[in-house]
């Protein structure tokens, strides 16, 4: 099949060229896919998109007019796709439900350790010949209460790691994982976790139910000085309320690999640009905030799996094969 791959970066080209094995013909576009760039899809059979490509009704309608029959996501989340519009236009949607849960779970732990032990600040000090330990005090993870919101594949791996640190792990999910329970993870209500957790790590998809799950009311229920880690989707946290919680001291640490308005910023070199987003600028002004640009997935193993599953999804669609990777709505 002829596939237009949008939001293409150098690593996308490298891995797709390496693992596609000439099964399908990919054409790479640096631009994101949206209603303004949909015309580039003329002559293709399918589009391959990432987290910040905008698959709204207008875009999907245009894709159908250009003959697109397949939207294949090279990621797990599909909140950026209007599934109803895709169904109406008879365009199938496939995703990569799991590529390397360990990669994202480990990145969440990296955010915790960096925020806690301030290794990023220590590194910068040493580079300037400043060997002082002043204001680098952290805390032991061992014995702390960790709240995990969402125990899908990534959440499961995160729980296992934190159990290894000797933490008390509490979890919330509408579907409880029996294996985690045998390992010592205790399921509680969302509100109960907010009240007792020292660290809260978010591993849930973005849905209407989880949009701004962590809002002003949620912050009020948390312990003073709580640490929040988000490697799921930016809009799970109400960022403006997080800023208020940081200013009041309620939120002691914030580590995020995702951001509500990241499509305007992430995956771009803006080092010579003026950032016009005042919200993220305010976030970055806090000494207890650590922000990474959606790099949780960014390991060799994950990239290889993403490509292999994406290529297989396209082949399965072409051959009319039923697969769990297809995203359906009733």
Q: Which domain CATH number covers 244?
A: 3.40.50.720
Nearest to 158 by CA among 96, 230, 79: 230
* Residue 209 and residue 150 in one domain: yes
- Number of domains comprising the chain: 2
Establish if 257 belongs to a structural domain. Answer: yes
User: CB under 8 Å to 114, separation ≥6 — which residues?
Assistant: 120, 255, 290
pLDDT value at position 77?
Answer: 87
Q: Is 224 inside a domain boundary? A: yes
Q: Which of 24, 107, 203, 294 is catalytic?
A: 294
Structural domain contains residue 326: no
Q: In terms of domains, do 179 and 128 share one?
A: yes
Q: Which residues contact 188 (CB under 8 A, 6 or more apart)?
A: 170, 171, 172
Count other C-beta atoms under 10 Å from residue 321's C-beta.
Answer: 11
Residues 281 and 206 in one domain: yes
Least confident of 44-48, 238-242, 264-268: 264-268
Residue 329: per-residue pLDDT: 84
Q: Are residues 52 and 109 in the same domain?
A: no
Q: Is residue 16 pLDDT above 80, yes or no?
A: yes
Catalytic (active site) residue 282: no
The verdict on 95 and 106 lying in the same domain is no
Work out the pLDDT band at 23, boundaries 50, 70, 90. Answer: confident
Of all residues in the chain, the percent with pLDDT exceeding 70 is: 100
327 within some domain: no
Same domain flag for 264 and 122: yes
Say if 323 falls within a structural domain: no
**pLDDT at residue 109, rounded to an integer:** 98
303 and 280 co-located in one domain: no
Q: What is the pLDDT of residues 35-79, one digit of tens each?
A: 999 999 999 999 999 998 999 999 999 999 999 999 999 998 898
pLDDT, one tens digit per residue, over 110-168 is 999 999 999 999 999 999 999 999 999 999 999 999 999 999 999 999 999 999 999 99
On whether both 215 and 239 belong to a single domain, the answer is yes
Catalytic member of 74, 233, 260, 263: 233
Residue 278 CA to residue 66 CA, distance in Å, equals 38
Distance, in Å, from the CA atom of 288 to the CA atom of 283, rounded to the nearest integer, reads: 9
- Based on the fold, state whether residues 282 and 193 are members of the same structural domain: yes
Query: Looking at the structure, do residues 105 and 164 belong to the same domain, yes or no?
Result: yes
E-strand ranges in 14-87 read 25-28, 46-49, 70-73
Residue 107 annotated to the active site: no
- Of 262, 272, 282, 304, the catalytic one is 262
Task: For residues 315 and 319, give the distance between their C-alpha atoms in angstroms, rounded to a whole number.
Answer: 6
Specify whether 262 is catalytic: yes
Asked if residue 67 and residue 109 are part of one domain, the reply reads no
Phi, psi (rounded to 5 degrees) for 38: -60, -25
Domain span at residue 93 reads 2-99+299-318
Is residue 269 a part of any domain in this protein?
yes
| Domain co-membership, 226 together with 129 | yes
Residue 324 lies in a domain: no
pLDDT over 80 (residue 22): no
In a domain, 65, yes or no: yes
């Amino acid at each position: 099949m002829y596939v237009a791959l949008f939001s293409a970066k150098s690593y996308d080209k490298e891995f797709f060229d390496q693992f596609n094995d000439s099964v399908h013909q990919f054409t790479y576009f640096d631009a994101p896919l949206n209603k303004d760039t949909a015309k580039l899809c003329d002559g293709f059979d399918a589009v391959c998109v990432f987290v910040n490509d905008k698959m709204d009704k207008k875009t999907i309608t245009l894709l159908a007019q250009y003959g697109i029959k397949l939207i294949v996501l090279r990621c797990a989340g599909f909140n950026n796709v209007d599934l109803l519009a895709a169904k109406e236009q008879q365009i199938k949607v496939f995703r990569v439900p799991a590529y390397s849960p360990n990669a994202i779970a480990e990145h969440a732990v990296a955010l915790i350790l960096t925020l806690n032990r301030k290794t990023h600040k220590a590194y910068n000090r040493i580079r300037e010949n400043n060997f002082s330990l002043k204001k680098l005090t952290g805390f032991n993870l061992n014995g702390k209460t960790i709240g995990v919101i969402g125990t899908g594949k990534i959440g499961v791996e995160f729980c296992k790691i934190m159990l290894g640190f000797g933490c008390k792990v509490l979890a919330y999910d509408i579907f409880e994982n029996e294996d985690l329970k045998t390992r010592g993870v205790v399921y509680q209500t969302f509100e109960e976790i907010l009240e007792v957790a020292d660290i809260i790590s978010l591993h849930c998809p973005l849905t209407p139910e989880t949009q701004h799950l962590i809002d002003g009311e949620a912050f009020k229920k948390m312990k003073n000085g709580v640490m929040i880690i988000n490697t799921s989707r930016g809009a799970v946290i109400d960022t403006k309320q997080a800023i208020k919680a940081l200013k009041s001291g309620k939120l002691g640490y914030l580590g995020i690999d995702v951001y509500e308005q990241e499509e305007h910023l992430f995956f771009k070199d803006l080092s010579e640009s003026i950032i016009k987003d005042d919200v993220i600028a305010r976030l970055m002004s806090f000494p207890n905030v650590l922000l990474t640009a959606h790099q949780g997935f960014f390991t060799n193993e994950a990239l290889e799996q993403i490509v292999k599953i994406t290529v297989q999804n396209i082949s399965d669609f072409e051959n009319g094969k039923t697969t769990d990777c297809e995203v359906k709505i009733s």
